[in-house]
Chains A and B, each alone.
Chain A
């Protein structure tokens, strides 16, 4: 069976311009929440967001800009991605809808072709294969990862680029503000006194390839993708569903060659909302109830905010870095974790430990759930 490995990564968030800086800041527990800048703060109740400084083109094409930055970084490690046989799967919650908003407020139309990311990808990878823009809410980049992973497993492509990108839209930031009576200033992951979600800017790119393809070029292998579990709740447009989440976790392990007791670390979806964190913690508590030594939990959104469609693969990027650097990033802002996860270590400071297997959760509006299992690359495998 073909093994799928990660050979290149790139990322940018509110706390870093590249994947190494992002992860270094995650380990320090640096939080990127700042007073709102890209949107007119006087129009909203929530004062903060996790934005990046780069403006884009007068506030337009910012998601594309983050995507290009991340792909460019990944390409430095794996220049071969610029080949006509390499497909690119881009997961995004909000596409370039911010560009549409900015243009419309200036009474200018937006070209349909500027709503997706084909142009942005082709600007850095002019010779790449098919480009897919998949708008699967906050699970989008992990869904993109699933599609690419499957293609490599089936032997239809040796290599694929998986990416995610998102920026704040006034409509999504505003409606999340509208429905939350609390006043969060930061995301507090699985904390009892959490106040709700705040959005963040982010871009991420991951080069996936078959083990054989990487070895044939003596490419250094960063980690292995063990499996990707997907599920759909079919219950509610915005509220999460515990059985749906549990199905995604179960499916991921059913496809993997490791068991739950092998997991050292879980990058939770952890949005800091009342509902998500409550349901996700119950699902984890239930799934891991037979495991005595619970895996550690880390909540990246405390540092980056909710980067929407990019967040899943930012978790995968962090999983790779945790494996390579043997470290669990802290989860700042979580001092009294929810009762369901008190047995799972959640650190206030970074924690050094060998990390071999990591679970990455990403769940989205519409009940789309994804769980990725990332493993240390071992030539002999795990069976």
Chain B
């Protein structure tokens, strides 16, 4: 069982945001990501019927994998995916339900079928990147991003995976604003990291998570801090905490995060 984990890369993607660090979010608008734009960024076709959460998550995943050492086929088999999102497919679900209520099921689009299932995001990432380890879609409310870190460590400890690609993604659009409470400014984007056990970490320059005592809580990145910087990020909040900690680590200012009752210093 490992007490130290390494983050090989950590990336934030928000459509048309200038810069790629957490403080940039405050100055950025929530811009809709068109599938053609995503197609250009990802250099692939076949994205027309993906929902926006999936598109943003795919871009973040590509950036994370591109900034880490490349994976062999065997390593891809041992790479798990955990996606955390609460609002990911809300727009597809409501659009379809409203079409049925106002007209008939025959008026719906068969191409929306994959998105009616909440795990279309994590599934799409596995297909596009050929990652065949355990694939988990976590929709666990406000704590979902923190839980994703815990479950990622669990998958490594149980040897179900050598490494885990963790992505937090949320969407903010008119449908969400109208039908999701509370009505607050929301984070619109995707963020994630690649976590490995330090004993097998494949890069020399990595950010490490050291398990610590509650005493390190004075440097804890709190939910409130993330809300101030990123708006209400719901299922992505816990993942954004790791990104912020990585940014501090690059300035040699270690901060810590907590997942459940455990504390992790990130340096």
Residues of chain A at the chain B interface (Cβ within 8 Å)? 40, 43-45, 93-95, 97, 100-101, 103-105, 109-113, 115-116, 118, 130-137, 143, 146-147, 150-151, 153-154, 169-172, 174-179, 230-238, 244, 247, 364-368
B59-97 with Cβ < 8 A to chain A: 81, 86-87, 89-90, 92-94, 96-97
* Of B1, B108, B132, B133, the contact of A178 (CB 8 Å cutoff): B108
Knowing A109-B183, A112-B181, A172-B116, say if A232 contacts B132 (CB, 8 Å): yes
Instruction: Report the nearest B residue to A40, measured CB to CB.
Output: B101
Q: Are A150 and B112 in contact, CB atoms less than 8 angstroms apart? A: no
**Known A-B contacts A135-B119, A175-B110; A110 and B180 likewise in contact (beta carbons under 8 Å):** yes
Let me know if B113 is at the binding interface, CB within 8 A.
yes
Is B219 in the interface zone, CB < 8 Å from A? no
- B154 pairs with A365, CB closer than 8 A: no
A238 x B137 contact (CB < 8 A): no
Residues of chain A with a CB closer than 8 A to B183's CB: 109
Chain B residues in 8 Å Cβ range of A110: 179-181
B97-A234 in contact (CB<8A): no
Binary A-proximity of B31-42 (CB < 8 A = 1, otherwise 0): 000000000000
In the complex, which of the residues B81, B93, B110, B117 contacts A101, with contact meaning CB atoms closer than 8 Å? B93
Give B226 Cβ to nearest chain A Cβ, in Å: 15
- Quick check: is B157 within 8 A (CB to CB) of the other chain? yes
Of A133, A151, A169, A368, the residue contacting B135 (CB under 8 A) is A368
A193 to B110, CA, bound (A): 23
Shortest beta-carbon distance from B44 to chain A in Å: 15
**15 further contact pairs, Cβ within 8 A, besides A112-B182, A134-B140:** A101-B94, A104-B179, A109-B180, A111-B182, A132-B140, A134-B136, A134-B138, A135-B118, A151-B154, A154-B1, A170-B97, A174-B100, A179-B113, A366-B117, A366-B122
**Given contact pairs A116-B141, A130-B147, A151-B154, A175 touches B234 in the complex (Cβ within 8 A):** no
- Which B residues from 105 to 145 make CB contacts under 8 A with A? 105-106, 108-110, 112-114, 116-120, 122-124, 126-127, 129-142, 144
Query: In the docked arrangement, what's the CA distance between A109 and B97, Å?
Result: 15
**Does B178 make an interface contact (CB < 8 A)?**
yes
In the assembled complex, the CB of B258 is this many whole angstroms from the nearest CB of chain A, namely 13
The answer to whether A237 and B123 touch across the interface, beta carbons within 8 angstroms, is yes
Which one, B96, B105, B108, B123, contacts A368 given CB within 8 A? Answer: B123
B28 interface hit (Cβ, 8 Å): no
Check A178/B139 contact, CB under 8 A, given A100-B90, A104-B97, A234-B126: no
A366 to B131, CA, bound (A): 12
Q: B89 to chain A: which residues have CB within 8 Å?
A: 97
CA distance A244 to B140 in the complex (A): 27
The distance in angstroms between the C-alpha atoms of A113 and B86, with both chains bound, is 9
Interface residues of B, Cβ cutoff 8 Å to A: 1, 81, 86-87, 89-90, 92-94, 96-98, 100-101, 104-106, 108-110, 112-114, 116-120, 122-124, 126-127, 129-142, 144, 147, 151, 154, 157-158, 160, 178-183, 234, 260
User: In whole angstroms, how far apart are the Cα atoms of A237 and B86 in the complex?
Assistant: 20
Residues of chain B contacted by A233 (CB below 8 angstroms): 126, 132
| The one of A113, A150, A234 that contacts B127, using a Cβ cutoff of 8 Å | A234
Shortest distance from the beta carbon of A53 to any chain B beta carbon, whole Å: 22
Q: A241 CA to B140 CA in the complex, in Å?
A: 28
Give bound CA distance, A113 to B142, whole Å.
Answer: 8
In the complex, A170 Cα to B98 Cα: how many Å?
9
Determine whether the beta carbon of B98 is less than 8 Å from that of A104: yes
CA separation between A169 and B180, bound complex, in Å? Answer: 17
| Shortest distance from the beta carbon of B182 to any chain A beta carbon, whole Å | 7
Contact in complex: A105, B136 (CB < 8 Å): no
Q: Give A198 Cβ to nearest chain B Cβ, in Å.
A: 14
Evaluate contact between A175 and B108: CB separation under 8 angstroms.
yes
**B190 to A: closest C-beta gap in Å:** 17
Measured CB to CB, the nearest residue on chain A to B259 is A130
A100: B residues at CB distance < 8 A: 90, 93-94, 179
Q: Kindly state the separation between the CA atoms of A235 and B128 in the bound complex, as whole angstroms.
A: 9
Is A366 within 8 A of B119, CB to CB? yes
Q: Is the CB of A175 within 8 A of B112?
A: yes
Chain A residues within 8 Å of B109, by CB = 178
Given A109-B183, A132-B151, verify A178-B90 contact (CB < 8 Å). no
Q: Determine if A118 and B141 form an interchain contact, defined as CB atoms under 8 angstroms apart.
A: yes
| Structural contact, A143 and B136, CB atoms closer than 8 A | yes
Q: Determine if B100 and A95 form an interchain contact, defined as CB atoms under 8 angstroms apart.
A: no
Q: Which residues of A contact B134 (CB under 8 A)?
A: 143, 146, 230, 232
Contact, CB under 8 Å: B101 / A105: yes
Q: In the complex, A93→B123 CA distance in Å?
A: 13
**With contacts A104-B94, A105-B98, A112-B180 known, is A44 near B136, CB below 8 A?**
no
Tell whether, in the assembled complex, residue B181 and residue A232 are in contact, meaning their CB atoms are under 8 Å apart.
Answer: no
> Chain A contacts of B101 at CB under 8 A?
40, 43, 105, 170
Q: Which 9 A-B pairs have the closest CB atoms?
A: A366-B123, A237-B114, A171-B96, A135-B118, A109-B181, A101-B97, A150-B158, A232-B135, A175-B113
Residues of A near B120 (CB, < 8 A) are 237, 365-366
- What is the CB-to-nearest-CB distance from B66 to chain A, in angstroms, rounded to a whole number? 18
Pairs A–B under 8 Å by Cβ, sample size 14: A94-B117, A95-B139, A97-B118, A104-B179, A112-B141, A131-B140, A171-B92, A178-B110, A179-B113, A231-B132, A234-B126, A366-B117, A367-B123, A367-B127
